C-alpha cells in the first residue's frame, strides 16, 4: 500500500518458460506474496511435478512447511490449521489423483467457510489428455466446491508474468479469506526441468517488480457489512416490543461475536440458545441467559409447543441439534430473522421470514446501540418472565441429565462430555467427531464462564478427516486440544495419526469405541435383525492399540471415570499424542440416550412447577 513500483527492468524480456530462472522468479514471486499476505503455513505432499512449489515454499523464511504422505489427511490437516488460525493455509500436491484426494477437505472447507489455499501442480497443456502419466483434468477439479479457480500460466521470467503471479497470490489469499471464507484452487502447469535455479529470492532480485516495503503487491481490504444504528431503529423497536423473543446461535467463528450477542440477549431479555460451535456456550460472557440444554428439553413435545416464540433472531450456520431444528419448524409461522454475512442459506427447515445480510457481530452491536431502555411492563409474557421460564426449564433439564448420568454404573458416551466439562482448562480446544460425538457434545457439555473453544467439521458433517483436522487445529492452536471421536471415524482417517510423531504434536484423542456405527442404532433400521449389523452397524473388531504403537501414541484403555480422568490429565500434561479409549456398546448407548430424554421430559413436565410450567 502506497509503495512505489520499482523500475521494471525485466519488462520486454522474452518469456523463458520452464527455465530454472523462470521457476525461481515466477513461482517465487507467488510464494513471496502469499507470505506478505499473511500465509504462514503450507502443508506439502511429496511429488515430482510440484517440486517448484515445494522447494520455494520451503525456502521462504516466513512460511512453515508441514509434510504429509496422504493427501486426504494433508488437506484436512491444513483445514484444521486454517480453522484454528482463522487464516488461509496452503496445501500443495503433485498432479493426478494426489490432487483429487484433497477433494473431501475442499468440500468441507467450502461449506464450513474455512480459508484453504489449494495449490496443485499440473502437466503443461501439451501433455494433457494425450496419455501422459499422472495427468488428469485438473481444471475446475473441485467443481462448485472451490470459491475461485485459477489456471496459472506456465512460469515466465517476464515482468508482466511476475506481476500476474504476484497479483494472483494476493487475490487467492484475499478470496479465501473474504466473507464467506472458503477454498481457492490454483492450478500450476509446470514443464521439466522442475528445479528453480539458485539465484536470489525474487524479493532480493532487482530485476523483478515488487513493493519496496514489506507490503503485499496488492493489499486487499474488505469492509464488513455493517448496519448503522439509525437504519436499525425500527427493527430494534420491534425486537424490544416482542414478548417472546429468542436468539439462536449456530456454528460461527468470530471470536468477538459471543460477547456481542450475549450483550444483545441480556439487553433484550431474550434467551440465547447456544450451539457449542457458536462459541457462545462457554466464555466470560456466559450467564443465565445462555441456554445449553435445549437439545434435551425441546425433545419434549409439550415443552416445545408451550415455549412458542414470537420472534427468533438466528445467527451462524445450522445448529447441530435436530430437536432445535424441529422446534424452529414447529414455530415456523413466527418471525424468524436469519443473520449472516455471506450468501449462504442456513435454514434447512425453510422457516426464515427475513434474511439480514450483515456481519453478525456488527449487527449485534448496532442493535444494542439502537435499543431503547426496556419498559416496566409486567405479566406472564414480559421478556423477563419468558426468559426466566427458559432458564428454569434448562436448569431442570440439566439437573435431570446429571442425575441420570450419575446413576449410570459404568462409563458412557454422554458421560465423557460431562467429565470433560469439569476437566478442560481455560483456553482448551475441544474437537468433536461427527455422527454421535458432536451431538453428545451439544447435549451434555454445559455452558460455563471458562473459555473453551469447540470445533467440528460441520460443513459437510463427514466422518472422514476428523483426526487430521483436529491434529491440524492442535498444531496451529494455543491451548491443549482434546478430540473426541468414534471408532469408525478414527479408522477412516487413521493415516492422519502419522502427523502426531512426524510433527511432534501435543494432543489427546478420546476414542469412543463401540465397534461400529453407533448413530445407526438410533434409526428405524436398528430393528432389522437380518441386515442391520452387516450394512449399518458394521463392526470391524479393530484394536486401535496397534495403531497407537505404529504411530508412537501413548495408549490407555480405561474402564472407570477415575481412570478416564487420570488418563486424560496425564495426556494433556505430557508431550506427544495420547489415545484414551473408552469402550461402549451401541444398543446400550441408544437405550441410555432414550432414558436420558425420558428423564428430562419427566423433569420439565413436573406438575409441581405450576405457574412456572412453560
Residues that contact a second copy, how many (by CB under 8 A): 89
Which residues, numbered 489-508, are part of the site for a second copy (CB under 8 A)? 491-492, 494-495, 498, 501-502
Q: Collapse the DSSP code of 156 into the 3-class scheme (helix H, G, I; strand E, B; otherwise coil) and give the result.
A: coil
Asked if 175 and 88 touch (Cβ cutoff 8 Å), the reply is: no
Q: How far apart (Å, rounded) are the C-alpha atoms in residues 477 and 472?
A: 8
448 DSSP assignment = B
556 lies in the binding site for a second copy (CB under 8 A): no
Nearer to a second copy by C-beta: 358 or 604?
358
Q: How far is C-alpha 496 from the chain's CA centre?
A: 17
Q: How far is C-alpha 312 from the chain's CA centre?
A: 24
Q: How far apart (Å, rounded) are the C-alpha atoms in residues 137 and 118?
A: 16
Q: 258, 414, 472, 517: which one contacts a second copy (CB under 8 A)?
A: 517
Which residues, numbered 80-99, are part of the site for a second copy (CB under 8 A)? 96-98
CA distances from 393 to 162, 324, 466 (A): 63, 15, 34
Q: 28, 80, 88, 104: which one contacts a second copy (CB under 8 A)?
A: 104
Q: Taking contact as CB under 8 A, which single stretch among the options 9-17, 326-334, 407-415, 521-529 is the one that binds a second copy? A: 521-529
Q: How far apart (Å, rounded) are the C-alpha atoms in residues 229 and 492?
A: 49
CA atoms within 13 A on the CB side of 35: 20
- Which grid coordinates are listed for 117? 489455499
Q: Collapse the DSSP code of 370 into the 3-class scheme (helix H, G, I; strand E, B; otherwise coil) and give the result.
A: helix
Which residues, numbered 268-327, are part of the site for a second copy (CB under 8 A)? 317-318
- Which grid coordinates are listed for 611? 405457574
- Least distance between a second copy and beta carbon 414 (Å): 20
* Per-residue contact flags (x/-) with a second copy for residues 457 to 496, judged by CB under 8 A: -x-xxx-xx----------------------x--xx-xx-
| b/e sequence 315-335, b meaning 16+ C-beta within 10 Å | bbbbbbbebbbebbebbeebb
357 lies in the binding site for a second copy (CB under 8 A): no
Q: How far apart (Å, rounded) are the C-alpha atoms in residues 509 and 235?
A: 46
Q: 1, 4, 126, 373: which one contacts a second copy (CB under 8 A)?
A: 126
Q: 4, 14, 144, 373: which one contacts a second copy (CB under 8 A)?
A: 144
392 DSSP assignment = H
* Per-residue contact flags (x/-) with a second copy for residues 157 to 196, judged by CB under 8 A: ------------------------------------xxx-
Which residues, numbered 26-45, are part of the site for a second copy (CB under 8 A)? 44
55 lies in the binding site for a second copy (CB under 8 A): yes
65 lies in the binding site for a second copy (CB under 8 A): yes
- Least distance between a second copy and beta carbon 536 (Å): 5
CA distances from 560 to 4, 411, 419, 541 (A): 66, 6, 11, 22
- Least distance between a second copy and beta carbon 559 (Å): 21
- Least distance between a second copy and beta carbon 434 (Å): 8
* Per-residue contact flags (x/-) with a second copy for residues 190 to 229, judged by CB under 8 A: ---xxx----------------------------------
C-beta neighbour count of 481 within 10 angstroms:
28
In this structure, the chain runs to a length of 614
Q: 31, 90, 358, 547: which one contacts a second copy (CB under 8 A)?
A: 547
Sheet bearing 64-67, strands edge to edge: 64-67, 41-44, 89-93, 116-122, 183-189, 148-151
What values do phi and psi take at 272, rounded to 5? -120, 105
Nearer to a second copy by C-beta: 143 or 234?
143
62 lies in the binding site for a second copy (CB under 8 A): no
Which residues, numbered 391-450, are part of the site for a second copy (CB under 8 A)? none
Asked if 556 and 579 touch (Cβ cutoff 8 Å), the reply is: yes
- Which grid coordinates are listed for 25? 522468479
108 lies in the binding site for a second copy (CB under 8 A): yes
353 lies in the binding site for a second copy (CB under 8 A): no
524 lies in the binding site for a second copy (CB under 8 A): yes
Nearer to a second copy by C-beta: 346 or 614?
346
355 lies in the binding site for a second copy (CB under 8 A): no
Nearer to a second copy by C-beta: 386 or 555?
555
101 lies in the binding site for a second copy (CB under 8 A): yes
Amino acid at each position: 500500500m502506497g509503495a512505489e513500483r520499482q523500475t521494471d527492468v525485466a519488462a520486454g524480456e522474452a518469456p523463458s518458460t520452464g527455465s530454472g530462472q523462470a521457476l525461481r522468479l515466477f513461482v517465487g514471486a507467488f510464494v513471496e506474496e502469499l507470505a506478505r499476505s499473511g500465509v504462514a503455513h503450507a502443508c506439502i505432499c511429496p511429488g515430482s511435478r510440484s517440486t517448484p512449489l515445494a522447494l520455494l515454499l520451503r525456502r521462504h523464511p516466513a512460511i512453515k512447511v508441514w509434510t504429509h504422505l496422504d493427501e486426504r489427511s494433508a488437506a484436512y490437516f491444513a483445514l484444521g490449521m486454517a480453522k484454528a488460525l482463522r487464516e488461509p493455509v496452503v496445501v500443495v500436491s503433485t498432479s493426478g489423483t494426489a490432487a483429487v484426494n484433497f477433494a473431501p477437505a475442499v468440500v468441507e472447507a467450502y461449506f464450513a467457510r474455512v480459508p484453504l489455499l489449494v495449490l496443485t501442480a499440473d502437466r503443461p497443456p501439451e501433455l494433457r489428455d494425450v496419455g501422459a502419466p499422472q495427468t488428469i483434468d485438473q481444471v475446475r477439479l473441485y467443481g462448485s466446491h472451490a470459491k475461485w479457480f485459477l489456471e496459472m500460466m506456465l512460469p515466465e521470467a517476464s515482468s508482466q508474468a511476475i506481476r500476474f503471479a504476484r497479483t494472483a497470490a494476493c487475490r487467492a489469499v484475499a478470496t479465501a479469506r473474504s466473507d464467506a471464507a472458503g477454498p481457492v484452487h490454483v492450478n500450476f502447469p509446470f514443464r521439466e526441468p522442475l528445479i528453480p535455479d539458485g539465484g536470489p529470492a525474487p524479493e532480493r532480485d532487482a530485476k523483478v517488480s515488487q513493493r519496496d516495503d514489506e507490503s503485499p503487491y496488492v493489499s486487499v481490504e474488505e469492509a464488513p457489512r455493517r448496519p448503522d444504528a439509525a437504519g436499525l431503529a425500527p427493527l430494534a423497536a420491534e425486537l424490544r416490543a416482542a414478548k417472546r423473543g429468542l436468539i439462536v446461535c449456530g456454528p460461527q467463528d468470530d471470536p468477538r461475536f459471543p460477547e456481542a450477542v450475549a450483550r444483545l440477549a441480556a439487553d433484550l431479555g431474550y434467551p440465547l440458545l447456544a450451539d457449542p460451535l457458536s462459541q457462545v456456550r462457554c466464555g466470560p460472557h456466559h450467564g443465565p441467559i445462555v441456554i445449553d440444554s435445549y437439545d434435551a428439553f425441546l425433545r419434549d413435545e409439550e415443552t416445545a409447543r408451550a415455549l412458542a416464540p414470537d420472534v427468533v433472531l438466528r445467527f451462524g450456520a445450522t445448529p447441530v441439534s435436530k430437536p432445535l431444528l424441529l422446534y424452529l419448524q414447529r414455530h415456523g409461522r413466527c418471525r424468524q430473522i436469519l443473520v449472516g454475512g455471506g450468501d449462504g442459506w442456513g435454514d434447512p427447515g425453510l422457516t426464515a421470514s427475513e434474511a439480514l445480510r450483515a456481519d453478525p457481530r456488527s449487527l449485534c452491536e448496532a442493535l444494542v446501540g439502537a435499543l431503547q431502555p426496556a419498559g416496566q411492563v409486567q405479566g406472564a409474557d414480559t421478556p423477563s418472565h419468558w426468559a426466566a421460564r427458559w432458564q428454569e426449564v434448562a436448569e431442570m433439564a440439566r439437573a435431570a441429565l446429571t442425575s441420570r448420568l450419575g446413576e449410570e454404573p459404568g462409563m458412557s458416551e454422554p458421560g465423557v462430555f460431562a467429565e470433560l466439562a469439569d476437566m478442560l482448562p481455560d483456553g482448551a480446544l475441544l474437537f468433536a467427531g461427527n455422527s454421535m460425538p458432536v451431538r453428545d457434545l451439544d447435549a451434555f457439555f454445559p455452558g460455563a464462564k471458562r473459555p473453551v473453544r469447540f470445533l467440528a467439521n460441520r460443513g459437510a458433517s463427514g466422518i472422514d478427516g476428523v483426526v487430521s483436522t483436529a491434529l491440524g487445529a492442535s498444531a496451529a492452536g494455543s491451548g491443549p486440544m482434546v478430540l473426541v471421536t468414534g471408532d469408525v471415524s478414527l479408522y477412516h482417517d487413521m493415516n492422519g495419526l502419522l502427523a502426531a510423531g512426524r510433527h511432534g504434536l501435543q494432543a489427546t484423542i478420546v476414542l469412543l469405541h463401540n465397534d461400529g456405527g453407533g448413530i445407526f442404532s438410533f434409526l428405524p433400521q436398528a430393528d432389522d435383525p437380518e441386515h442391520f449389523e452387516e450394512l449399518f452397524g458394521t463392526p470391524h473388531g479393530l484394536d486401535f492399540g496397534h495403531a497407537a504403537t505404529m504411530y508412537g501414541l501413548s495408549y490407555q484403555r480405561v474402564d472407570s471415570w477415575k481412570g478416564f480422568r487420570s488418563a486424560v490429565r496425564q495426556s494433556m500434561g505430557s508431550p506427544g499424542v495420547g489415545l484414551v479409549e473408552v469402550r461402549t456398546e451401541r444398543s446400550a448407548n441408544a437405550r441410555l440416550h432414550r432414558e436420558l430424554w425420558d428423564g428430562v421430559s419427566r423433569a420439565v413436565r413436573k406438575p409441581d412447577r405450576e405457574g412456572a410450567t412453560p
